[in-house]
A and B are shown apart, each in its own frame.
Chain A
């Protein structure tokens, strides 16, 4: 068996029933079940933060904090037909908002200069890729939270319109409209910021 290509694309039938059981055990405080949820969902939650934050440490800290909050709220969790991951993303989004609110506004995010010359030891391709990644990340930060989310699910996580709709609690047609607006806004921002 190959390792699942993506941890967030479970086989709906069996996986959902196993996950439901694990969630019930985690609600009862079973550390094994909590570990299972952590292993399964760490990466998608981490990527949710990492695509938005320059600071790797911060992305890792916030990811762990999502799971701590998950534990706090788990006794009251009810599925109501939405994927568990959607609930984790809601926690992540709230945490991110808290972080943005608490961050002093006069401190600019330190950014790497995309034009800086690579040192002898540095690999030019890596620097260029990093500069491009920084630029796109900053362009994404200018979008609305919903636009950021739809771009994250559709293009960074490679989810289908239907999966994205389930995770965001919207209809597929609304996702199609949202992805159109988000891509158009991203393109504008990328042009303004010279990412293209």
Chain B
């Protein structure tokens, strides 16, 4: 490109791009001697800006902000419980009570029955709800990876079971798969060295992908878009995890503990 065709703004933009790619001011300015006096102070100012170390946020503030935002996101889910909104202690007590009831009291009855349910069964919603609680609990403790992998394995088992029983594929199970896969992708991007992701997640995703592929021509038309989305996410998750997993298993010391707190 001829220099005389370029405006000063374009020349400046070129110089800034070159500097961003690693060139120093003198190299860049030498290419435009006619503009050197004008360019140099601007490039110096840009260089100073680039070098500013912005102090990072405090992890505690990040966690507190997250908890505050998450707490605000919940009421919109419980729109039918308007009389409880704003009474956090009541909803906290209710949630804790429900968890305890599910884990201990109701465990022998409804929850166990729900555990064996399949998509389309009346108790399947309860099973998914319990899984959501498990996931939220695990996330609160800082490491949702094992729960995510376990839940994805369950989805694969359910799909295989439905196939064996000759029952139609329910879109709910596919939508759930998509959510789990998206969560795994994000987790893998934030924690490439996570031991569970390195050991089990890729295996679970590959199995899930195989199950989805086997379903491809058998799902009802209504479930086809959900299946396509799940396959797309599974492909993406496999890509991310494949680039995360080291080429050879390390015979060295055991992997370090899982990351805690927000993914940063």
> Which residues from chain A sit less than 8 Å from chain B, CB to CB?
1-4, 14, 17-18, 21-22, 25-26, 28-32, 34-36, 38-40, 42-43, 46-47, 50-51, 56-57, 59-60, 63-64, 67-68, 70-71, 75, 129, 132-133, 136, 151, 154-156, 158, 160-161, 173, 176-177, 179-180, 183-184, 186-187, 190, 195-196
Q: Find out whether the CB atom of B73 lies under 8 angstroms from the CB atom of A39.
A: no
* B76 CB-CB contact with A under 8 Å: yes
A144 to B13, CA, bound (A): 20
From B12, B76, B236, B262, name the one whose CB has the most chain A CB atoms within 10 angstroms: B76
Q: Find out whether the CB atom of A14 lies under 8 angstroms from the CB atom of B189.
A: no
* B172 CB-CB contact with A under 8 Å: no
> Which residues from chain B sit less than 8 Å from chain A, CB to CB?
8-10, 12-13, 16-17, 20, 41-42, 44-46, 48-50, 52-55, 57-58, 61-62, 64-66, 68-70, 72-77, 135-136, 139, 178-179, 182-183, 185-186, 188-190, 192, 229, 232-233, 236, 240, 243-244, 262-264
Q: Find out whether the CB atom of A30 lies under 8 angstroms from the CB atom of B183.
A: no
Q: Find out whether the CB atom of B186 lies under 8 angstroms from the CB atom of A1.
A: no
Q: Find out whether the CB atom of B53 lies under 8 angstroms from the CB atom of A176.
A: no
Kindly list chain B residues whose C-beta atoms are within 8 Å of the C-beta of A176.
9-10, 12-13
A67 to B58, CA, bound (A): 17
- Assuming the contacts A18-B185, A42-B62, A158-B50, asked whether A35 and B70 have C-beta atoms less than 8 A apart, the reply is yes
Q: Find out whether the CB atom of A179 lies under 8 angstroms from the CB atom of B264.
A: no
Q: Find out whether the CB atom of A180 lies under 8 angstroms from the CB atom of B70.
A: no
A18 to B257, CA, bound (A): 28
Least CB distance from B195 to A in Å reads 15
Q: Find out whether the CB atom of A21 lies under 8 angstroms from the CB atom of B182.
A: yes
Contact check: which of A31, A39, A155 meets B46 at CB < 8 Å?
A155
A190 to B64, CA, bound (A): 36
Kindly list chain A residues whose C-beta atoms are within 8 Å of the C-beta of B64.
64
- Assuming the contacts A22-B182, A32-B179, asked whether A133 and B53 have C-beta atoms less than 8 A apart, the reply is yes
Question: Main SS of the interface on chain A?
Answer: helix
- Assuming the contacts A3-B189, A31-B136, A50-B55, asked whether A184 and B42 have C-beta atoms less than 8 A apart, the reply is yes
Least CB distance from A79 to B in Å reads 18
A180 to B243, CA, bound (A): 40
Q: Find out whether the CB atom of A151 lies under 8 angstroms from the CB atom of B53.
A: no
Q: Find out whether the CB atom of B8 lies under 8 angstroms from the CB atom of A180.
A: yes
- Assuming the contacts A1-B189, A180-B42, asked whether A31 and B73 have C-beta atoms less than 8 A apart, the reply is yes
A173 to B12, CA, bound (A): 12
Known: A42-B62, A186-B45, A187-B44. 11 other contacts (CB 8 A): A2-B192, A29-B77, A31-B77, A36-B183, A43-B264, A51-B54, A70-B69, A155-B46, A161-B17, A176-B9, A183-B42
